Amino acid sequence: MVSTEHWSVDIYLDEDEERTHAEARLHTRDATDLRGRGLAKRNPHDRDVPEIGAELAAARALFELAHHLLRAATEDVEQATGRPAHLHS
């Protein structure tokens, strides 16, 4: 039996003069609430290119979210098997 599920990730960005903050939120059918946060800081000597800050902050938020998701999967495997799990990315 083939099954299809839809998960989505929303990324929220907030910028000021020298920093961009990002938060990535994972939404699944079972109401999993995992979030990752990222920050990008512009060097005062660099040209102001907001898109670069947004890309860096978003990438870092997604990286942290992926880490949280891998940890959740590890905990689920351990709970299901009763044994330590060592999952790797």
Distances (CA, A) of 18 to 13, 31, 41, 42: 13, 34, 6, 5
The number of distinct structural domains making up the chain is 1
* 19 closest CA partner among 37, 41, 35, 36: 41
> Is residue 25 included in any domain, yes or no?
yes
> Is residue 2 included in any domain, yes or no?
no
Q: Which domain holds residue 69?
A: 8-81
3-state helix, strand, coil in the chain (%, to 5): 35, 30, 35
> Is residue 29 included in any domain, yes or no?
yes
> What pLDDT sits at residue 51?
93
pTM of the predicted protein model: 0.88
Q: Which tokens belong to 14? A: 């907030």
> Is residue 88 included in any domain, yes or no?
no
pLDDT digits (tens, 9 = 90+) for 2-33: 889 999 999 999 998 889 999 999 999 887 88
Helix ranges, 1-89 (H): 50-81
